[in-house]
Amino acid sequence: MRIVLISGIIFVHVPYDPATSPYLGQFGGLDWMRVFLADSLFRIGVPCLSAISGFLLFHRGFDAFDYARTLRTKASTILLPFLLWNTAFLVLVYAAQSRGIGFGYLPDVVNATPRELMNLGLAVEAWPINIPLYFLRDLLLCLVLSPLIALAVLRYPRTVLALMLAYAVLPLPNGIFLKKSILFGFSFGVCAALHRLDIRRLDRFAVPMVLAVLAMAVLLSLALYAYGPEFPAWLSTLRSLAAIAGIFGAWALSALLIRTGPGQALSRMGGLSFWIFCAHYPLLVLFWMVWNRLGIPDYPLFYAASPVLALAILVASHAAARRFTPSLHAILTGRRLGERKRTAAERNQHPTMKPAGSVAQRR
């Protein structure tokens, strides 16, 4: 599901300016579609990716969890790629703005204070310059807190998840997190793993669950389109709830996709999904700058073309990096090289498990 969700997140970050806001309604049905995709349907990506991470971290149980080893591993698979991708973009933005290019599209890096530069580079207390990477920042924070989260959901699962859900959806201060739903999604995944919830039992309800989530996203987008761009508190709460409920719809969709040939192929694209996630935002901003420089007024064309062109470039650049600079590719993707081959011991341990239905592959 990672590559499906991350490809959808591209639509969340397609740039626009006040004159082309979808809430102006100047492009008719396309504007509603933009709200549906960016502000409703694909908002499920962040909490679902968080739940996947929490689930996989503890899927062998609490006793098998090695905190020190986890931190060492995640330093190379999450922290290092975050620093490299974000710092590289920060340097590029500084170089461009030093020549008078890019002002108004991105934060002012040239005249930023040391505190602002620290946040843009490391996301200590605010968004990084490569905005989607806030997910990696908050995920790292969840990993640091993972033993406490695991113990809490082991002893008091209902109470802890209820409190975290309230924190995620109600208009409460964010505290140390940039996106509150990440904490809930991660904790929910940890809880499902530690309590050995058989989430595959939901597979028989996959079709109605997917349809229900789609219907929910449609209804939410209609409300958002009617009230936006400034949403009342109750609607913001509903949007957060819908994003979290989308976790179940994404799981149900994976049950359908993994039975298909394309779904099997997508499940082996771990490195590509991470590459797309880290690189798509700078590319979309570049497209937007070039588009405005060309002076083309047809925004619907930009909206339709930019995600397709971004995906094409990212797939090609990922393949080129993997072939010609494998060491650099491994570092930038956190050594996510694709499908891990099952060992003979694993096959003997699970002789009746079908790869097409395994939880790990669907993740």
pLDDT in tens, 272-312: 889 999 999 999 999 999 999 998 889 999 999 999 999 99
Token duo for residue 315: 């797939």
Domain regions of the chain by residue span? 2-340+352-362
pTM: 0.88
Q: Give the pLDDT confidence score for residue 359 in this predicted structure.
A: 52
Look-up: residue for tokens 């790990």?
Answer: 360
- Of the candidates 40, 55, 13, the one whose C-alpha atom is nearest the C-alpha of residue 249 is 40
189-205: average pLDDT: 90
Which amino acid is residue 125, in one-letter code? Answer: E
Per 3-state DSSP, the chain is made up of helix, strand and coil in percentages (nearest 5) of 75, 0, 25
Q: Give the pLDDT confidence score for residue 269 in this predicted structure.
A: 74
Segment 76-122, tens digit of pLDDT: 999 999 999 999 999 999 999 999 888 889 999 999 999 999 999 99
187-215: average pLDDT: 92
- Answer for the pair 258, 362: CB distance below 8 angstroms, yes or no: yes
pLDDT at 349 over 90: no
State the pLDDT confidence band at 264, using cuts at 50, 70 and 90.
Answer: confident
pLDDT at 351 over 70: no
Segment 118-143, tens digit of pLDDT: 999 999 999 999 999 999 999 999 99
Q: Please name the residues in contact with 130: beta carbons below 8 A apart, sequence gap of 6 or more.
A: 85, 86, 89, 90, 278, 281, 282
220-229: average pLDDT: 92
Average predicted confidence (pLDDT) for the chain: 89
Q: Which burial class, exposed, middle or buried, applies to 34 when counting CB atoms under 10 A from its CB (0-12, 13-18, 19+)?
A: buried
